[in-house]
């Protein structure tokens, strides 16, 4: 059965809009777990635009499920991860100007740095996932740098329409198969919502879906418990 990792970054986005303490992503994470989340994901960005160091520390101490820390492959972030020791680190590319993560990591180009960082994270007992586009060369490079998992970037599929979307779905299908053949665990995420996730679920083979914006958006209207339950039912029923 596929699992659902709930990304609570945008609870923190609302908090940061006023710079106070409400709403607290740590409380939201506990509520998401009660509603059926299999894991909690947060992205500690270098500019700290939403999730703060304090959130990551508290989540580590309070979560009942697993903590997946998304972060850039930098010495600063690796040092934080080695202190916090999340269950998973997902390494993502990061640009200061972007609204959200744009595109997967170029594992081929950055293999030396990634290899060094993955080795350090492994020494701390952390399982490492790489956020990559559904591209065979990036998958092969992920095994060479000794990643445990890949997270397939589903953003291009989610943004595409009609025939283009079918073509993007085929790329995801091939990447899931190739990743498993290479011995990698396969997760997926970015841009998935209650509608566009269905064809991806039908492919099978993905261990965990990391979903944030669509769940938090629905939660604003129907409540977090219901929003998580509805996505959890979709993912588990796949
Ligand atoms: N996976 C990764 C690696 C991401 O960077 C993000 C966005 O933070 C997500 C999943 C979740 O994307 P969304 O918020 O669009 O569901």
Q: Which has the closest alpha carbon to 7: 224, 226, 238?
A: 224
What share of the chain in percent tops pLDDT 90? 95
User: Is 70 annotated in the active site?
Assistant: yes
Q: What is d(CA 37, CA 65) in angstroms, rounded to the nearest whole number?
A: 8
| Model confidence pLDDT, tens digit, residues 20-74 | 999 999 999 999 999 999 999 999 999 999 999 999 999 999 999 999 999 999 9
Q: What is d(CA 217, CA 64) in angstroms, rounded to the nearest whole number?
A: 24
CA of 42 to the centre of ligand 1 (A): 9
CA of 153 to the centre of ligand 1 (A): 8
Atom of ligand 1 nearest to the CA of 213: 14
Burial pattern 155-184, b for ≥16 Cβ within 10 A else e, equals: bbbbeeeeeebeebbebbbebbebbeebeb
From residue 212, how far is each of 11, 100, 142, 174 by CA, in Å? 10, 11, 24, 24
| Model confidence pLDDT, tens digit, residues 82-94 | 999 999 999 999 8
Upstream peptide bond of 23 is cis (omega within 30 degrees of 0): yes
User: Is 43 annotated in the active site?
Assistant: yes
Burial pattern 115-128, b for ≥16 Cβ within 10 A else e, equals: bebbebbeeeebbb
User: Is 110 annotated in the active site?
Assistant: no
pLDDT at 102 over 80: no
* 212 Cβ closer than 6 Å to some ligand 1 atom: yes
Atom of ligand 1 nearest to the CA of 9: 8
Q: What is d(CA 86, CA 82) in angstroms, rounded to the nearest whole number?
A: 8
pLDDT at 142 over 80: yes
> Is 44 within 8 Å of 75 (Cβ atoms)?
no
Q: Which two tokens stand for residue 59?
A: 């989540």
Question: How far, rounded to the nearest angstrom, does the alpha carbon of residue 67 sit from its chain's CA centroid?
Answer: 11
Rounded to the nearest integer, the mean pLDDT of the chain is 96
Question: What is the mean predicted confidence (pLDDT) over 149-168?
Answer: 97
CA of 15 to the centre of ligand 1 (A): 19
pLDDT for res 96: 63
* 7 Cβ closer than 6 Å to some ligand 1 atom: yes
What pTM was computed for the model?
0.96
Q: Which residue's CA is the closest to the ligand 1 atom numbered 9? A: 190
The second-level CATH assignment, the architecture, of 3-237 is: Alpha-Beta Barrel (3.20)
Atom of ligand 1 nearest to the CA of 215: 16
* 70 Cβ closer than 6 Å to some ligand 1 atom: yes
């Amino acid at each position: 059965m596929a699992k659902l990792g709930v990304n609570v970054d945008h609870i923190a986005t609302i908090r940061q809009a006023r710079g106070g303490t409400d709403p607290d992503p740590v409380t939201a994470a506990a509520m998401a777990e009660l509603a059926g989340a299999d894991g909690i994901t947060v992205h500690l960005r270098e500019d700290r635009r939403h999730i703060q160091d304090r959130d990551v520390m508290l989540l580590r101490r309070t979560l009942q499920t697993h903590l997946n820390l998304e972060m850039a492959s930098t010495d600063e972030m690796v040092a934080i991860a080695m202190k916090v020791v999340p269950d998973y680190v997902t390494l993502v590319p990061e640009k200061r100007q972007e609204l959200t993560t744009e595109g997967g990591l170029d594992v081929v180009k950055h293999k030396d740095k990634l290899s060094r960082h993955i080795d350090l994270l492994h020494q701390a007992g952390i399982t490492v996932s790489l956020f990559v586009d559904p591209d065979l060369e990036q998958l092969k490079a992920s095994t060479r740098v000794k990643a445990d998992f890949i997270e397939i970037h589903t953003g291009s599929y989610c943004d595409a329409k009609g025939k283009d979307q079918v073509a993007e779905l085929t790329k995801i299908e091939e990447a899931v198969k190739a990743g498993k053949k290479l011995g990698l665990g396969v997760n997926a995420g970015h841009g998935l919502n209650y509608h566009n996730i269905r064809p991806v679920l039908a492919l099978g083979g993905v261990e965990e879906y990391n979903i944030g914006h669509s769940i938090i958006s629905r939660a604003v209207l129907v409540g977090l418990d219901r929003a998580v339950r509805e996505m959890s039912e979709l993912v588990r029923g796949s």
